[in-house]
Structure 1
Amino acid sequence: MDRSGDRVGVEVSVVLPAYNEERTIEATVETTLSTLGAFLPAGAFEVLVAEDGCDDRTPDIADRLADADPRIRHVHSDDRLGRGGALERAFSAAAGDTLVYFDTDLATDMSHLEELVERVRSGEADVATGSRWMPGQIADRPAKRGVPSRVYNGLVRLFLRSPLRDHQCGFKALSRDAFERLHGDVEDEHWFWDTELLVRAQRAGLEVAEFPVEWEPKGDTKVDLVRDVFGMGSQILRLWWQVSVSPRITRRVSVGAGALLTVLALALMTLYLDPQAVLTELEGADLRLVGLAGAVYLLSWPLRGSRYRDILAELGYRERLGFLTGAVFISQTGNLVFPARAGDGVRAYVMKARRGIPYPTGFASLAVERVFDLLTITVLGGTVLVGYVLTGSTDAVISTLSGGVPGVDPRSARVALTVAAGVATAAVLAVAAIVVSARREGNLIRRLVTGVSSDSYADYVAGVLESFVGDVQAVAADRAAFGRIGASSLVIWALDVVTAILVLAAFDVALTTPTLVAVGFFAVSVGNLAKVLPLSPGGIGLYEAAFTLLVAGLTPVTGATAFGAAVLDHAVKNLVTVAGGVVSMLALNVSLTAAVDETGAADADHDAETVD
C-alpha cells in the first residue's frame, strides 16, 4: 500500500492493530483522537485501524468511523497477517514520520501517550517503548501474566543481550527512518515482532528509549501454550542464531569445526579399541569383495537419479536421468566436503543454473527426497526394533550390547531402545497421516493445530507444518508415484546395506543370520541416522561410531573388526560418491566451491519467491 498523498501536514500516525475488537474499537479510536488532540495541532495526526482479517463486525465499524472522520483510516486485510504483519502493512500506508502503535484494550494509561510520541517526534530517540517492569511504574499483573512475562524478558536479555526490561509491552513508537531501516530485517509477523524490532534496532545502533508506564490488564489474556512455548521460545533461539552465531560462522570456521569434530569422534573410539589392531584388520581385508561392494554401491546412483526424476515430475518438471543423477552426485559430494549439509543447497543451485528450475521447486524436491530417505532408514532399522520391543525381547539385545561394548548401561540402553522404537512408530504414523491428508479435502494438519489453539500464532505454526507436509502430499496424492518413489528408496538403501555386508565379509566374518540382522537392520540404519546430524562433513566419525557399537555389541565380531569394516564401508561409499561428483562436475561444467558460495543467494531467492 502506498502512503496517502493527500495528507499533507500529518506528522504522527497512530496504528491500532485490531482483530475481532467490535466491542472496544470505537471507544478506543475516540479516546486516541481526544488524547492526541490535547497535545498536537489539528491536522497533525491520523489514526489507522489495522484490521487483520476479522470475522466479526470490526471491519464495518472501522469503515463507518473512517467515513465519518477524515482523521481515521481503515487498513483492511482479507487474510490474517498476524500482529506484526498488520502493523507493517499499516505503517507502510501511514503518512506520518512518527509511527505509533498500542494495544486496543488501552491497558497502558493514555496519559503516557504524549511522552511516547514526543520521545521520537523530538528526535530524542529512534524507537521508544513503554515498560511495565521499570522502577517507577505501576503494573497490576496477575501471576498467570507476570511470571511468564518476567521469564520471557529474562530469556531475551540472556540470549539476545538486550538491556531492556520489557520487550512485549504493546506501547511503542518509532521514526519513519527507523521503520524503513528495520522492517525488511524483522522476520516475525506475529507477537514476537515487538521484541525483534527492539533487538534489531539496538544491533543497528539506533537509540532505543524505555520509560515506565502505568498498566492495568483488561480482559482475558490472548497468551496460549502454542504461541508461547513453541512460538516465542523458538523465535528467541532463531534471532539469537541470526544475530549472534551465524555472522561468526565463516567457511573457514565451518570447515575447521567439521574437521575437529571428525578427529574427536575418531579419537574417542581409541578408548576401547586398539588402533594397531584396526590397521591390522584393514590390511587383511579381501580387496575383491571390497571392489564388489563398490560396484554394488555404484548401482544405487542411477536409482537415486530415477527417484529424483519421479519427484520432480510430480512437481511439474521433467528432466533426463543422466543430468539428474549428476546433480545428485554433485550435491552429495558437497555434503562430503562441507559441513552442515551445504551440498543440499548446491543441488537447488545446479537445477536453477543449468535447467532454470526455480529455487522453491529445487528446495521442495529436496525436502521430499529427505523425507523418503529418513522414512526408509527408519523402516529398515525400526521394523525389527519395534518387533523386539513388542515381543519383550529387548533384554536380550541389551545384555549382548552392554556385554560387548564397555560402558553401556543396561537401563539407559533399555530407555534408548524403547524411545527409538517409539520414534520409528511415530515416523510411520506421521507419513500415513500425510498420505491420508493428501486424499481428503479437509486439512488434517490445520485442524489438529487449531484444535489446540485458535490464536494467530497457531495459524502460523499450522502454515509451517503445511509447507513441510505439502511437498510430500504432492507425491502422496498420486498413488503410483508414491509407490514408485517408496520402492526406489527401499532398493537404494537395500543396496547400501548389501555394500556394508560385502565389506564386512571382506574381513572373513561369518555372515550368520544374527550378523546380517545386526548389520542390515541396525548398524547401517542407525549409522546413517547419525549422519543426519550436520556435525561433520559426510558424517565421518558419527557413522563409524554407531556402526561399531551395534555390530560389536550384537555379534561375535570384535570391536577392531567392526570398526575396520565401518571405516572401509564408509570410505568405499565416499570414494564412489566423490568420483561420481568429479565426473558430473566436469560434464555439467559446475564448480563445487562456486555452487556453495551461491547457496546463500539461493536461500535468499527461495525466501523472496516464497513471499511473492
Structure 2
Amino acid sequence: MSSPDGRPDPDPDGVDRAGVGTAAGDAAADGIRVSVVLPAFNEAATIEGTVRTTVGTLEGFLPNDAFEVIVAEDGCDDDTPEIADRLAREDDRVRHFHSDRRLGRGGALEFAFERAAGDTLVYFDTDLATDMGHLEELVAKIDREGYDVATGSRWIPGDEADRPAKRGVPSRGFNLIVRTVLRSRLRDHQCGFKALSREAFEELHEAVEDDHWFWDTELLVRAQRRGFRVAEFPVEWEPQGDSKVDLVRDVFGMGSQIVRLWWQLSVSPRITRTRTVAAGVVLTVAALALMTVYLDPSAVLAAFEGADPAPVAAATLVYLLSWPLRGLRYRDILTELGYREKLGFLTGAVFISQTGNLVFPARAGDAVRAYVVKARRGIPYPTGFASLAAERVFDLLTITAMAGAVLAGLLVTDGTSAVAAAVSANVPGVPPAAVSRAIQVAAGIGVVAVASLFVIVATARSDRNYVRDVVSRFSSDSYVDYVAGVIEEFTAGVQTVAGTRASFARVGGVSVVVWTLDVVTALLVLAAFPAAVESMTVTQLVVVGFFAVSVGNLAKVLPLSPGGIGLYEAAFTALVVGLGGVPAAVAFAAAVLDHAVKNAVTVAGGVVSMIGFNVSLTDAVDETAELDEEGEPEGSEFPSDDD
C-alpha cells in the first residue's frame, strides 16, 4: 500500500517499504487471517485483472475484513507499479510493495511475507494458471485443517495437467531428481500455488538461501526435513502464455541449487572433525599406496639412499627464507585493511595456519589464522577472513601465471616438439603428435590464464564493474547476479590490496618471490638425485621444476587431504617423468622429499609459534567451527603480549 499521500516511501537499499509498520499493525488489529501475495514482474497487462479476481474469490469464502492481497512487485520497468498503487488506493485490502531492484521471485515473496498481517500466508502465480476454484481448499489446509505447508500439484497420479512437452518434460525430470536426491515425498515442487502458516514461515525462511525459482522447492524440502505437516493436493492447471523460465539457464541454475541443498542437508551435517581427519588420512595413505602399483618400492628407497644431503640442506634453508616474506606480504595486506602489526607476529600466524592446513583437511588452517589475529591482536574476524581471501587469490594467480608463462614460452619457442618427444620416450605407446597437440592446447589455456590475470587486475583497480557489465549482457535474471557475485568475490581479493599501485605491486611482487623460492627448493631437491641431474640440462631442470611445482600446488587447491599430501606427489612425479625423462622411482622420491622438507619447516615453525603465542590448534579449529554456525564466538579473547 502506498503512503498516505499516495507516493511510495523511499528506502536506502532500493526497496520501497510503503505500507509497512503502522499499516501492518492496524491490519493485524483488524483481524486479518489470510495474506495473499502476488509476486509480479512486468505484469502490467494482467495485474489488475489478477488482483480483482483474487479479491473476488476471497470474498466468496472469507469475511471482507479477514484478508489482504499484496502485490509484491519485483523491480518492474513497465506500468505495474502505477497500476498496483492505484489498486491499493481504491481498496484498503490491497497493498503494494515496490522494489527498485530485482529481489528475485523468492526474495520478493520473503519481503512481502515478513510484512504481511495474516497468520495464513498464500501465494500463487499472477497468470492464474491454477484454477482459482482451488483457492478456498488451499487456504483451508492451513487455516482450518492445521497443516503447516500446502501446495497444489499438477502431477499427482490420475490428475496430471495437460502440459506442452517443452514444459512437461523438464518439469517431470526436475521433480524426479528432487524426489531422488533430496528425498522429498512430493510429486510437484514448482507449482505456483502454495500456502504456509506464519509459524512455519518464521522458522523456515532464514534457512532458505535461494531467492528465485528454487525458493519454492527449498522451502518444501526443508519443511519436510524439519517435520512440518505438508499437504499436497491435485489442482486443475492450464498454462497461460509463454513461461518466464529459461530452460537452459534455469535448469542448470536449479541443478546447482539441488546439489547445494543436498550437500547442506545430507553431507555437511555428517562432516565432523574426526571423520574429516580420518578421511584425509585414509585418502593420503591410499594415494601414496597407489604409487606402489606403478613403482618398485625398493627402487624408491634406493633413490633416497643415493641422494646427496648437501642440496637437501640448502633447499631447507631456501624454503625457510620464504617464510618472513610470507609474513611481509600478509603485513602489507593487513595494512591496506587498516591494521599495522609486527612482522614477527604475522610470520608466526602464517606458520600456525599452514600447520593447521597440514593437520586438518579442507584448509581449516585458514580459519585458524583469522582466530589467531583476532584473539591476539583484536583484528575482527571479517577483516581476518578478507585478508586471507586476498592472500589466497594472489597465491592462485601467481601459481597459474607461472605455469601459464612456462607453457606460453614453450608455444612461442616451438618447444612443444622437444617436450612431446621426451614424453613419448618416457611413456611408451603415446605418439609425439598427440602429445604436441595436447601441450599446444594446454599452452593456449596458459595464455588465457595469464591474460585473465591482467583482466582481473584491471577490473579490481577500476571503479567500473566490468564483471557485472559483461555477465549482465546475457541476462538480467537473479541467477546472473549469483554468477557475477562469485566472480566479484574472487576479484575482491585483488581489490583488497589494489588501493594503490605501490601496494599492489609490492604484494604481487612478494608473491612471485615466495613461489620462486618454493620452486628453487624443489630444484635443489631434484639436484640431490644424480639420476635427475643426468637426465636433464640446466634449462630443462628449471622449466620442469617451475611447471611441476606450479601444477603440483594447483593440485593441492582441492582440499581432499591434509596439506595436499598425495596430490602434490602424483602431479609432481608425472610431470618430472613426462617432461624431464627422469626415472619414475627417482621422480617420486624427489617429490616426497621436496614435500617432506617443506612440511617439516612448516610444522617446526608452527610448533614454535604456537608455544610462543600460547595457541592451541584444536581450540582454534573449534572456535572457528562455532563461528561458522553461530556467528562470532564469545570468550575467544585471551591476554595479548602487551597485557
TM-score above 0.5, yes or no: yes
The residue that corresponds to 2:366 in the other structure is 344
The residue that corresponds to 1:568 in the other structure is 593
Given that 2:391 and 2:493 are in contact with CA atoms closer than 8 Å, whether structure 1 keeps it comes out as no
Q: Give the counterpart letter for 1:215 in structure 2.
A: W
1:220 equivalenced with 2:242 (yes/no): yes
The residue that corresponds to 2:554 in the other structure is 529
The residue that corresponds to 2:24 in the other structure is 4
The residue that corresponds to 2:282 in the other structure is 260
For each residue in 1:352-399, what CA deviation from the matched residue of structure 2 results, as whole angstroms up to 9, or x when unmatched? 222333333222222221221112112222212233345554344234
Number of residue-to-residue matches in the alignment = 608
Given that 2:131 and 2:237 are in contact with CA atoms closer than 8 Å, whether structure 1 keeps it comes out as yes
The residue that corresponds to 2:183 in the other structure is 161
Question: How many angstroms apart in 1 are the aligned matches of 2:240 and 2:224?
Answer: 30
Given that 2:393 and 2:493 are in contact with CA atoms closer than 8 Å, whether structure 1 keeps it comes out as no
Q: Report SS of the residue matched to 2:211.
A: coil
Q: What is the CA distance between 1:301 and its match in structure 2? A: 0.8
Question: How many angstroms apart in 2 are the aligned matches of 1:53 and 1:413?
Answer: 53
TM-score, normalised by the number of residues in structure 1: 0.94
Describe how 1:511-530 pairs up with structure 2 within 5 A: 512-530=537-555
Q: Could you say which structure has the greater relative contact order, defined with CA pairs below 8 angstroms and 6 or more residues apart? A: 1
For each residue in 1:25-48, what CA deviation from the matched residue of structure 2 results, as whole angstroms up to 9, or x when unmatched? 221111111111111122111111
Describe how 1:570-585 pairs up with structure 2 within 5 A: 570-585=595-610
Q: What is the CA distance between 1:465 and its match in structure 2? A: 2.4
More divergent stretch after superposition (271-280 vs 412-421): 412-421
Distance 1:411 1:476, change over 3 A: farther
2:402 corresponds, among 380, 394, 398, to 380
Distance 1:159 1:410, change over 3 A: farther
The residue that corresponds to 2:638 in the other structure is none
The residue that corresponds to 1:475 in the other structure is 497
Distance 1:496 1:321, change over 3 A: same
Question: How many angstroms apart in 1 are the aligned matches of 2:632 and 2:42?
Answer: 30
Q: Report SS of the residue matched to 1:253.
A: helix
More divergent stretch after superposition (77-86 vs 341-350): 77-86
Q: What is the CA distance between 1:336 and its match in structure 2? A: 0.2
Structure 1 unaligned runs (5+)?
none
Structure 2 unaligned runs (5+)?
1-19, 634-643
Given that 1:345 and 1:602 are in contact with CA atoms closer than 8 Å, whether structure 2 keeps it comes out as no
More divergent stretch after superposition (403-412 vs 597-606): 403-412
More divergent stretch after superposition (389-398 vs 196-205): 389-398
Question: Percent of pairs identical after alignment?
Answer: 70
Q: What is the CA distance between 1:100 and its match in structure 2? A: 0.5
Given that 2:423 and 2:581 are in contact with CA atoms closer than 8 Å, whether structure 1 keeps it comes out as no
Question: How many angstroms apart in 1 are the aligned matches of 2:397 and 2:440?
Answer: 18
Given that 2:404 and 2:450 are in contact with CA atoms closer than 8 Å, whether structure 1 keeps it comes out as no
Q: Report SS of the residue matched to 1:452.
A: coil
Q: Give the counterpart letter for 2:25 in structure 1.
A: G
More divergent stretch after superposition (598-607 vs 334-343): 598-607
1:270 equivalenced with 2:292 (yes/no): yes
Q: Give the counterpart letter for 1:328 in structure 2.
A: V
Q: Report SS of the residue matched to 1:298.
A: helix
Distance 1:407 1:493, change over 3 A: farther
Distance 1:323 1:230, change over 3 A: farther
Describe how 1:99-118 pairs up with structure 2 within 5 A: 99-118=121-140
Q: Report SS of the residue matched to 2:130.
A: coil
Distance 1:548 1:334, change over 3 A: same
User: Aligned Cα RMSD in Å?
Assistant: 2.3
For each residue in 1:528-587, what CA deviation from the matched residue of structure 2 results, as whole angstroms up to 9, or x when unmatched? 111111111001111111111111222243222211111111011001101111122122
Q: Give the counterpart letter for 2:589 in structure 1.
A: G
Question: How many angstroms apart in 2 are the aligned matches of 1:410 and 1:20?
Answer: 59
Distance 1:53 1:358, change over 3 A: farther
Given that 1:551 and 1:562 are in contact with CA atoms closer than 8 Å, whether structure 2 keeps it comes out as yes
Q: What is the CA distance between 1:294 and its match in structure 2? A: 0.9
More divergent stretch after superposition (351-360 vs 267-276): 351-360
Q: Report SS of the residue matched to 1:76.
A: strand
Question: How many angstroms apart in 2 are the aligned matches of 1:474 and 1:485?
Answer: 11
Given that 2:178 and 2:258 are in contact with CA atoms closer than 8 Å, whether structure 1 keeps it comes out as yes
The residue that corresponds to 1:355 in the other structure is 377
Q: What is the CA distance between 1:67 and its match in structure 2? A: 2.2
Distance 1:320 1:219, change over 3 A: farther
Question: How many angstroms apart in 2 are the aligned matches of 1:498 and 1:524?
Answer: 10
1:437 corresponds, among 446, 459, 466, to 459
Question: How many angstroms apart in 2 are the aligned matches of 1:410 and 1:169?
Answer: 57
Q: What is the CA distance between 1:118 and its match in structure 2? A: 0.8
Given that 1:59 and 1:76 are in contact with CA atoms closer than 8 Å, whether structure 2 keeps it comes out as yes
Q: What is the CA distance between 1:419 and its match in structure 2? A: 4.9
More divergent stretch after superposition (239-248 vs 7-16): 7-16
The residue that corresponds to 2:637 in the other structure is none
2:331 corresponds, among 301, 306, 309, to 309
For each residue in 1:491-510, what CA deviation from the matched residue of structure 2 results, as whole angstroms up to 9, or x when unmatched? 00110011111112222342
Q: What is the CA distance between 1:416 and its match in structure 2? A: 5.2
Given that 2:523 and 2:542 are in contact with CA atoms closer than 8 Å, whether structure 1 keeps it comes out as no
Question: How many angstroms apart in 1 are the aligned matches of 2:497 and 2:207?
Answer: 34
More divergent stretch after superposition (221-230 vs 556-565): 221-230
Describe how 1:8-407 pairs up with structure 2 within 5 A: 8=29, 9-137=31-159, 139-224=161-246, 227-389=249-411, 393-405=415-427
Q: What is the CA distance between 1:218 and its match in structure 2? A: 2.2
Given that 2:150 and 2:194 are in contact with CA atoms closer than 8 Å, whether structure 1 keeps it comes out as yes
Given that 1:226 and 1:458 are in contact with CA atoms closer than 8 Å, whether structure 2 keeps it comes out as no
Given that 2:390 and 2:496 are in contact with CA atoms closer than 8 Å, whether structure 1 keeps it comes out as no
Given that 1:497 and 1:519 are in contact with CA atoms closer than 8 Å, whether structure 2 keeps it comes out as no
Distance 1:304 1:280, change over 3 A: same
Question: How many angstroms apart in 1 are the aligned matches of 2:131 and 2:412?
Answer: 62
Distance 1:409 1:198, change over 3 A: farther
Q: Report SS of the residue matched to 2:122.
A: strand
2:471 corresponds, among 449, 465, 470, to 449
Describe how 1:402-441 pairs up with structure 2 within 5 A: 402-405=424-427, 417-441=439-463
Given that 2:311 and 2:524 are in contact with CA atoms closer than 8 Å, whether structure 1 keeps it comes out as yes
TM-score, normalised by the number of residues in structure 2: 0.89
Given that 2:138 and 2:195 are in contact with CA atoms closer than 8 Å, whether structure 1 keeps it comes out as yes
Given that 2:330 and 2:346 are in contact with CA atoms closer than 8 Å, whether structure 1 keeps it comes out as yes
